[in-house]
């Protein structure tokens, strides 16, 4: 069978299963999630032996140490997957939630009801725990899920998906609601992107190459999880001790993430006081600094920033620093170079905090908090599918409700259109 035929056939079966999923009662879905968690733990040895094949292949191919690390499962990580499934079971079911019933002048009551989206396609890479995480969210929100993981994790993903499917079926869910595509080449992604009327939403999680492929070929709706070029603006009225702690956290705590700070903007009035101490802490933490000419006047030992630096997402211990004249200057820089992901202002001045909060265009705008907090768990969603950088449907961390949409409902007693 051609890849095209196979992907389409599997997707169609998953779509039919998704329609059944929409009607499954919450307690049935929860029992399935608990059973999945128990099965993963019970089959830890099987999962680790399948995972070992992927890890051996990655090593044989000379893959980077970070990739091998992300790929590797152990008993603790299997336990975390199981814990994640149980946590999603404990979250409220968004399906069937009714939003604001109001009575119209003609007496009918009108509101909206949350319903699943349908069949959701996920394209992801390396970390096999994503398989369990996204299945948990899709099952709980009553959606079907079509998974396409990376080739490097294919044995692990097959093993995890098999246990999840078996647990689903044993709990009374349609097994095809959880469908892993075996095909790991690019052609399978191209086919998914083309399944108009079958796949209702594609969530691509990956690097710039995947995003380009999606921009070029997607004919189905997409919620992109794209890069983060995130700024912190330290205002003249910032609490500088707090600002130093936040800047260090946003840059150093996990620099390879999309919500890490890439560019620091500092008001010129506080730069001479603020920057030397911060620079020392960042340099001590292994960070390379680059700066605008005004920054270099204060930190003469760092390298000058080039125009390219302002538009680069390093995902590494590199920080570019610019001194700005005021809030407007900072917001103009963010509007020009930012990727509308996570943007923070540090200030004690209320009007400026409110202007930044209202006017800055980003999936999350933060006042006096680290950009690293733009995350589904940190923001209280309980779990997340990743962080949407799209401008419709959902911005920022996508939790269970972002995997639903709202239909209108009308309760009448004979109302007509006049």
Q: How far is the CB of 253 from its own copies (least distance, A)?
A: 5
Indicate the pairing of strand 396-397 with strand 387-388.
Answer: antiparallel
Residues 135-154 that bind its own copies (CB under 8 A): none
Q: Which residue, 90 or 335, has its beta carbon nearer to its own copies?
A: 335
Q: Which residue, 59 or 104, has its beta carbon nearer to its own copies?
A: 104
Does the footprint of its own copies cover residue 90 (CB under 8 A)? no
Kindly state the DSSP code that residue 93 receives in the 8-state scheme: P
Does the footprint of its own copies cover residue 115 (CB under 8 A)? yes
Contact assessment for residue 374 and residue 366, using Cβ atoms and an 8 Å cutoff: yes
Report the b/e string of 41-65 with b at 16+ CB within 10 A. Answer: bebbeebbebbeebbebbeeeebee
Q: How far is the CB of 217 from its own copies (least distance, A)?
A: 9
* Element holding 296 (H helix, E strand): helix 293-298
For residues 371 and 186, give the distance between their C-alpha atoms in angstroms, rounded to a whole number: 33
Does the footprint of its own copies cover residue 335 (CB under 8 A)? yes
Q: Which residue, 118 or 150, has its beta carbon nearer to its own copies?
A: 118
Residues 4-23 that bind its own copies (CB under 8 A): 19, 22-23
| Sheet architecture: strand order including 201-204 | 178-180, 144-148, 119-123, 201-204
Residues 183-242 that bind its own copies (CB under 8 A): 196, 200-201, 215-216, 218-219, 221-223, 239, 242
Q: How far is the CB of 158 from its own copies (least distance, A)?
A: 29
Q: Which residue, 35 or 362, has its beta carbon nearer to its own copies?
A: 362
Does the footprint of its own copies cover residue 47 (CB under 8 A)? no
Residues 242-281 that bind its own copies (CB under 8 A): 242, 245-246, 249, 253-254
Contact assessment for residue 134 and residue 147, using Cβ atoms and an 8 Å cutoff: yes
Cα 284 vs. chain centroid, distance in angstroms?
30
| Of the candidate residues 32, 91, 117, 292, the single one contacting its own copies (CB under 8 A) | 117
Q: Which residue, 130 or 218, has its beta carbon nearer to its own copies?
A: 218
Q: Which residue, 291 or 338, has its beta carbon nearer to its own copies?
A: 338
For residues 203 and 194, give the distance between their C-alpha atoms in angstroms, rounded to a whole number: 14
| Of the candidate residues 108, 175, 269, 303, the single one contacting its own copies (CB under 8 A) | 108
Could you count the other beta carbons within 10 Å of the beta carbon of residue 409? 14
**Selection from 383, 402, 409, 357 nearest residue 90 by Cα:** 383
| Of the candidate residues 102, 301, 307, 308, the single one contacting its own copies (CB under 8 A) | 102
Helix, strand, or coil (residue 417):
coil
| Of the candidate residues 110, 169, 190, 270, the single one contacting its own copies (CB under 8 A) | 110
Does the footprint of its own copies cover residue 350 (CB under 8 A)? no
Q: Which residue, 185 or 408, has its beta carbon nearer to its own copies?
A: 408
Q: Which residue, 82 or 334, has its beta carbon nearer to its own copies?
A: 334
Indicate the pairing of strand 261-267 with strand 288-291.
Answer: unpaired
Does the footprint of its own copies cover residue 408 (CB under 8 A)? yes
Residues 365-394 that bind its own copies (CB under 8 A): 365-370, 372-375, 378-380, 390-394
Q: Which residue, 55 or 145, has its beta carbon nearer to its own copies?
A: 145
* Element holding 67 (H helix, E strand): helix 65-71
Burial grade of 236 (CB within 10 A; 0-12, 13-18, 19 or more): middle
């Amino acid at each position: 069978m051609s890849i095209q035929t196979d992907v389409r056939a599997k997707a169609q079966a998953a779509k039919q299963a998704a329609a059944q999923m929409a009607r499954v009662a919450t307690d049935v879905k929860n029992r399935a999630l608990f059973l999945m968690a128990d099965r993963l733990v019970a089959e830890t040895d099987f999962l680790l032996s399948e995972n070992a094949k992927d890890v051996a292949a990655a090593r044989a191919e000379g893959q980077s140490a970070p990739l091998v690390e992300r790929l590797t499962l152990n008993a603790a990580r299997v336990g975390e997957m199981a814990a994640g499934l149980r946590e999603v079971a404990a979250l409220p079911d968004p399906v069937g939630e009714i939003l604001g019933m109001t009575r119209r002048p003609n007496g009918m009551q009108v509101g909206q009801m949350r319903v699943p989206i349908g069949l959701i396609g996920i394209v992801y890479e390396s970390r096999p725990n994503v398989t369990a995480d996204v299945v948990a969210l899709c099952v709980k929100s009553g959606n079907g899920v079509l998974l396409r993981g990376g080739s490097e994790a294919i044995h692990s993903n097959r093993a995890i998906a098999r246990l999840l499917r078996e647990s689903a079926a044993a709990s009374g869910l349609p097994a095809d609601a959880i469908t892993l595509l075996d095909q790991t080449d690019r052609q399978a992604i191209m086919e998914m992107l083309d399944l108009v009327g079958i796949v209702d939403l594609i969530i691509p999680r990956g690097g710039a190459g995947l995003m380009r492929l999606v921009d070029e070929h997607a004919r189905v709706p997409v919620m992109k999880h794209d890069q983060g070029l995130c700024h912190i603006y330290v205002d003249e009225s910032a609490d500088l001790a707090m600002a130093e702690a936040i800047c260090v956290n946003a840059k150093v705590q996990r620099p390879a993430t999309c919500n890490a700070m890439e560019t620091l903007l500092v008001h010129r009035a506080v730069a001479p006081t603020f920057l030397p101490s911060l620079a020392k802490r960042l340099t001590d933490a292994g960070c390379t600094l680059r700066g605008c000419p005004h920054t270099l006047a204060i930190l003469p030992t760092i390298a000058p920033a080039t125009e390219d630096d302002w538009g680069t997402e390093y995902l590494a211990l590199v920080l570019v620093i610019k001194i700005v004249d005021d809030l407007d200057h900072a917001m103009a820089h963010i509007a020009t170079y930012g990727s509308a992901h996570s943007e923070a202002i540090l200030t004690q001045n209320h009007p400026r905090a409110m202007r930044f909060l209202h006017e800055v265009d980003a999936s999350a705008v933060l006042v006096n908090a680290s950009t690293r907090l733009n995350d589904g768990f940190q923001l209280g969603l309980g779990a997340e599918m990743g962080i949407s950088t799209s401008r419709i449907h959902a911005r920022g961390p996508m939790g269970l409700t972002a995997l639903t949409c709202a239909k209108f409902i009308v309760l009448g007693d004979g109302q007509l259109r006049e």
